[in-house]
Structure 1
Amino acid sequence: MVCPVEQSIDESETNAPAPMPLNVNFREYENGLPLSHAALAAEIALAITYNGLSQAVMMVSPGNLEDFIRGFSVSNDIVKDQSEIHDVRLSHFDQAVQADVQISNRAFWALKNHRRQMAGTSGCGLCGVQALEQALPKLQILEPVALPPAQQFSGIRERIEQAQQMARSSGALHAALYFDAHGNALICREDIGRHNALDKLIGALQQAGIDTRVGFTVVTSRCSLELIHKAVRARLGTLVSLSAPTALTVQWAIRHRLNLIHVPHRNAPRIYSPA
Structure 2
Amino acid sequence: MTCVTNTGSPLKYAQRPIWRVQGEVGVKTSDQVAEEVPIAMLCNDRSYAVMMATPGDLDDFALGFSLTEGLIHHPDQLLDVQTNSYVEGISLSMQVASEAPVNSLSTDDQRLLPGRSGCGICGTRQLEDLVRQPLPVADVRSFSAHALRHALATLNQHQPINDATGSMHAAAWADANGDTQITREDVGRHNALDKLIGALRRKATNPVDGFALISSRASYEMIAKAASAGVSMIAAISAPTALAIDLARGAGICLVGFSQPQRYNIYTYPERLI
| TM-score, normalising length: structure 1 | 0.84
Distance change >3 Å, CA 18–CA 219, structure 1 → 2: farther
Q: 2: distance between equivalents of 1:87 and 1:266?
A: 41
CA contact (8 A) 1:48 1:56 kept: yes
Deviation per CA, 1:238-261: give whole Å up to 9, x if none.
111111211211111011111212
CA contact (8 A) 1:153 1:269 kept: no
Distance change >3 Å, CA 154–CA 104, structure 1 → 2: same
Distance change >3 Å, CA 34–CA 222, structure 1 → 2: same
Q: Which residue of 2 aligns with 1:252?
A: 247
The structure carrying a bigger helix percent of its residues is 1
Q: Which residue of 1 aligns with 2:27?
A: 34
Partner amino acid for 2:232? G
The answer to whether the aligner puts 1:208 opposite 2:237 as a matched pair is: no
Q: 2: distance between equivalents of 1:117 and 1:37?
A: 45
Q: Which residue of 1 aligns with 2:229?
A: 234
The answer to whether the aligner puts 1:115 opposite 2:107 as a matched pair is: yes
Which runs of no fewer than 5 residues in structure 1 stay unpaired?
1-9, 120-128
CA contact (8 A) 1:17 1:64 kept: no
Q: 2: distance between equivalents of 1:179 and 1:20?
A: 23
Q: Which structure has the larger Rg over C-alpha atoms?
A: 1
Q: Which residue of 2 aligns with 1:272?
A: 267
Partner amino acid for 2:19? R
Distance change >3 Å, CA 80–CA 35, structure 1 → 2: same
CA contact (8 A) 1:48 1:55 kept: yes
170, 176, 181: which one pairs with 1:181? Answer: 176
Distance change >3 Å, CA 118–CA 68, structure 1 → 2: closer
Distance change >3 Å, CA 17–CA 194, structure 1 → 2: farther
Q: Which residue of 2 aligns with 1:25?
A: 17
Distance change >3 Å, CA 17–CA 195, structure 1 → 2: farther
Identity of aligned residues (%): 28
CA contact (8 A) 1:79 1:85 kept: yes
Q: 1: distance between equivalents of 2:241 and 2:50?
A: 28
Q: Which residue of 2 aligns with 1:7?
A: none
CA contact (8 A) 1:18 1:61 kept: no
Q: Which residue of 1 aligns with 2:212?
A: 217
The Cα shift of 1:154 comes to 2.2
Deviation per CA, 1:66-114: give whole Å up to 9, x if none.
1011000000111111011010011111351111101111225x44435
Partner amino acid for 1:222? R
Deviation per CA, 1:140-161: give whole Å up to 9, x if none.
2223512211111224333110
Q: 2: distance between equivalents of 1:241 and 1:184?
A: 17
Q: 2: distance between equivalents of 1:155 and 1:208?
A: 23
CA contact (8 A) 1:90 1:97 kept: yes
CA contact (8 A) 2:84 2:92 kept: yes
Distance change >3 Å, CA 22–CA 96, structure 1 → 2: same
The structure carrying a bigger strand percent of its residues is 2
SS at match of 1:273: coil
Q: 2: distance between equivalents of 1:136 and 1:49?
A: 23
Partner amino acid for 1:23? Q
Which runs of no fewer than 5 residues in structure 2 stay unpaired?
112-123
Distance change >3 Å, CA 86–CA 140, structure 1 → 2: same
Q: 1: distance between equivalents of 2:133 and 2:242?
A: 18
| TM-score, normalising length: structure 2 | 0.84
The answer to whether the aligner puts 1:142 opposite 2:137 as a matched pair is: yes
Q: Could you say what the CA RMSD is over the residues aligned between the two structures, in angstroms? A: 2.7
The answer to whether the aligner puts 1:47 opposite 2:66 as a matched pair is: no
Q: 1: distance between equivalents of 2:46 and 2:176?
A: 40
